[in-house]
Each structure stands twice: as structure tokens, then as C-alpha cells.
Amino acid sequence: MGRVIAVANQKGGVGKTTSAINLASSFAAAEVNTLLVDCDPQSNATSGLGLTKDPDRINTYHLLMGAASPDEALQTTSLEQLWIIPSHKNLIGANLELVEADRREFRLRDALAPLRERFRFIVLDCPPALDLLTLNALVAADAVLIPMQAEYFALEGISELLDTVERIRAGLNPELAIEGVVLTMFDERTNLAQQVTDELKRYFGEKLCATTIPRNIRLAEAPSHGKPALLYDPRSKGAESYIRLAKEIIERQPSAFSHQLMEEMSVDVDGADLQPAAGAEAKVEEIPAATEMDKTA
């Protein structure tokens, strides 16, 4: 059965959509059947993979409202083993229309259930809000990947998201795990970045991904061409970083993947060492609840 990963952070501008697109593309490039589900009414993941905004096309809104099957919503992309369920701005109406609906928190989980045997990874791109759309994604997910910048306000925002995750575990999805926290737009030269990284290591331990995503112009340019970074410029630092991140995530659950798959992803990109990250865990553990993050960094 495929693994469902929600890419979530209620703070905007932290690289959620960039991470969702390029992580899903890196899985697909390793010849793993992968599905990207655009759960954001802004539909940036949809346009970032080259699909035009079409109000008549079946999208995530129709899935949540039970108006279409998941097979009807699937769209192909420029990568042979990557599919997408697109979004549209009408998805914002689901926040209101689902308020009185039965099983409103489970709509996305129910809709994706028939696809879990078909795809090894299903990546959910969440909106920058802790609303009913994000709630549906977290209830549908096996784990949540949290992209964040190494900044003070990011530390404040992540506390709210973790509180939401704990509430969902308590009542709606007891198996929801933290896949990891990945630092995006990272500049290791600054003291602030190092201070925030040290604080996150203290709090999250091995849940903090060893891979960081640098600020990279090719990552910023790729969506305007409707391509993931590894198609737009496979030699860029951004593309290399997401390949490393995909390998690191795969290595966290080695029992689900073959040694051959790991070797396929170990191909060097422009001389870069893309071997599995050292010390990656075989399974995702609970977040330590006793410690409080120091937000004075």
C-alpha cells in the first residue's frame, strides 16, 4: 500500500508547493508511481506541473464533494510515472460546503483509498492555513512533512501546527506521524540559520531532515515553465537537494522499498554524492512532548 505524505505548514511562503512538486517528481524520476494531489485553491502545484487552469476539468473539489471518482480526476504530467489531481479556485468553497456534511474530515481519505494500491507515494500539497482542507489532508495522510525557513517566526508557527497534529492524532487519525521537518531557502552562512537549526535539532532530533533545500534561482524559475526543477535544470543545486530529500524519506521506511530502488536513486548528479543520508530512521517515532522549543533564537 502506498504512503500518503501531506506537505503542510500554515505559514505561507515557506516552500510547501515547491517541496511538494519537486519531492513528488524525485520519487517519479526513480521509477516509482507517484501521485501529487493539489489541495490548495491557489492551484500553484497544478500550474507548476504545466497544467492550465481549467474550471471545467475535474479537480480536488469534485473529489471532496463526492461528484467524481479519483480515476476521473487523474491527469498525466511530463514525467512518465507522475500523475496529478489538479486544483481550482472553486476548491475554496469546500471549506463552507463541507461544514454540515457527513464525514467532512474524512472526505479526502475516502476518495484516495482506491488509489493507495496503485501509487507508492501520494503527496498532498496543503494550503497555507489550518482549515478544513488541511484537516482533510492530515486525516488522509500517513505522515506530515513540514517545510520551514530557519527564522524566528517559523518557530512560532510550527508550534501551532504540531498542536493541530496532536489533536488529529487524538481524535481522527491516530497513526499520523511526523515524516520530518525540512529547512527550505536555507542559507547556512547566517548566524540566525545556524541558531534556528540547532534549536530544531534539540527539539526534533532525527526528525529534522539531514537534507536542506538552499535558496536557488532555478527552483524559483521552474514553475513559470511548468516543470519541476529536475526537468528544468537537473544539475541545479535545488534539483539535487530534492533528490537527496526523496532518498532520505525512502530510507526512513526501508521495508517498503527494494534495494534496487535505492540504487536507482544513488546516481550522481553532476558529481554530487546522493548516497542515503546517514543515520536515517527505519520508522517514524513520536515527537518528544516534554521539551519546549526555545523561540529566542
pLDDT (tens digit, 9 = 90+) per residue, 148-157? 998 877 777 7
Q: Please give the pLDDT value at position 29.
A: 94
Query: What distance lies between CA 129 and its chain's CA centroid?
Result: 15
pLDDT bin (cut points 50, 70, 90) of residue 282 is very low
Residue 159 has pLDDT above 90, yes or no: no
Please check whether residue 270 is in contact with residue 235, taking contact to mean a CB–CB distance below 8 angstroms.
yes
pLDDT, the chain, mean: 86
Q: Please give the pLDDT value at position 18.
A: 97
Q: Please give the pLDDT value at position 61.
A: 96
Residue 113 has pLDDT above 70, yes or no: yes
Would 279 be classed as within a structural domain?
A: no
CATH number for the domain including 22?
3.40.50.300
Domain count, the chain: 1
pLDDT (tens digit, 9 = 90+) per residue, 213-231? 999 999 999 999 999 999 9
Would 142 be classed as within a structural domain?
A: yes
Would 286 be classed as within a structural domain?
A: no
274: CB partners within 8 A, 6+ apart: 240, 243, 244, 247, 265, 266, 267, 268
pLDDT bin (cut points 50, 70, 90) of residue 203 is confident
Would 182 be classed as within a structural domain?
A: yes
Would 67 be classed as within a structural domain?
A: yes
Residue 40 has pLDDT above 90, yes or no: yes
Would 152 be classed as within a structural domain?
A: yes
Residue 105 has pLDDT above 80, yes or no: yes
Q: Please give the pLDDT value at position 255.
A: 61
Q: Please give the pLDDT value at position 275.
A: 39
Output 150 or 250, whichever has higher pLDDT.
250
Residue 276 has pLDDT above 80, yes or no: no
What is the model's pTM?
0.85
Span 85-94, mean pLDDT? 93
Would 199 be classed as within a structural domain?
A: yes
Span 256-274, mean pLDDT? 48
Please check whether residue 125 is in contact with residue 43, taking contact to mean a CB–CB distance below 8 angstroms.
no
- Structural domain span for residue 92: 3-264
Would 277 be classed as within a structural domain?
A: no
Span 84-107, mean pLDDT? 92
